[in-house]
Structure 1
């Protein structure tokens, strides 16, 4: 069960309107579209489904859950360890900078929203580089959002932003984008169940396609997105 307050907080946290700059990133999609690897709704859906199963987003989501549970238990040392671990898994500078920029933006927002006495540990994290997954987990912990529900919101938010980039780049119509998001619902639910069962020693991902697209995107001739 989730309270009305926690549900509203999750909707705010997972909203595309959250001012963290997610809309400015395509996570390599812009290069994939230019190369013709992704050129319609079907190929976009295939890419998203693979990412949910084996890609970087599944790893980020698992880290988000660990950040949430450790923050909930007051283990801020472990929260920082997972933050460093998450930074070390980034295979390109662009993906690392995206995660840090969005994470630090979310921390600044949380500091502005939370009472002074609740800001101490969050403020210390904001003095460095915080990954978005960790910042999201901290927010979910503070707003008492259950891990499974927070995880579903995290993946839904990612899918919305990725599809939004696809709608602009391929391009797709808005209805096609919404149909794609609707089609992904079973995959999102399955991904939540899988990620929650993964042990620390089994955390892994297969991200070479994303990494190559990200590296090539840095020097793409014409770009709409930052990465």
Structure 2
């Protein structure tokens, strides 16, 4: 695993103003992917008493990052970014298939494809010209996983994989914290304190995955296993009352 020092050095890699503007736009709540309608099973975790306050929310999300689906999303993001940066549509297709197959249940599949399909749709018409559409063209008509589509757009616009992955993870964590603010509920200040507390975890994960991903088979890099969170996401489908789609 990369040291904190190496993380800090990597994160100082300059990014031009246009790329910064684009990344902020793509990860903004205003980018219409419907992220606010998903909780990743957090709604079940709150109902069952696993998440009851800011501290337990931070712990739950940290586990998703270190051991759960967000770890695997980071792996898929990096492999998709590398395929897109190389202009390798065939390789990107392999990652796309794995990204769908890696979903543990119907609600995880719904969450990643609903956002991925929406992201691809809006990116085709609301981003500056690139080979983004051409790379995804062979996958036309198929469901697309959110990290794969985001990574492809980032790579097509020259956003470095570690900076892009950090932005992607920040956006995902921020959405889950926003869900927790409505579900627990957490106040606005506690929500921001939770995001700040998860900062080291996000940075460490981004550095770890970028450094550790192999050049060949992305399947070998998948390692997330958070059984309770996966059961919770599946159980959410039959909850009596639900505010979120997942």
Report the TM-score when normalising by structure 2. Answer: 0.88
Give the unaligned 5+ runs of structure 2.
Answer: 1-13
Deviations 1:7-50 (A, max 9, x none): 11111111122100111001111111011111000000001111
What does residue 190 of structure 1 align with? 204
Query: Where in structure 2 are the equivalents of 1:21-170 lying within 5 Å?
Result: 21-114=34-127, 118=131, 119-170=133-184
SS in 1 for 2:15: coil
1-side partners of 2:245 and 2:61: how far apart? 20
How has the CA–CA distance of structure 1 residues 174 and 116 changed in structure 2, closer, same or farther, with 3 Å as cutoff? closer
Q: What CA RMSD, in Å, does the superposition of the two structures yield over aligned residues?
A: 1.5
What does residue 223 of structure 1 align with? 242
Q: Is the 8 A contact 2:80 2:148 kept in 1?
A: yes
Report the TM-score when normalising by structure 1. Answer: 0.95
Q: Is the 8 A contact 2:44 2:232 kept in 1?
A: yes
What does residue 171 of structure 1 align with? 185
Q: Is the 8 A contact 1:107 1:135 kept in 2?
A: yes
How has the CA–CA distance of structure 1 residues 136 and 117 changed in structure 2, closer, same or farther, with 3 Å as cutoff? closer
Q: Which moved more, 1:212-221 or 1:123-132?
A: 123-132
Q: Is the 8 A contact 1:22 1:161 kept in 2?
A: yes
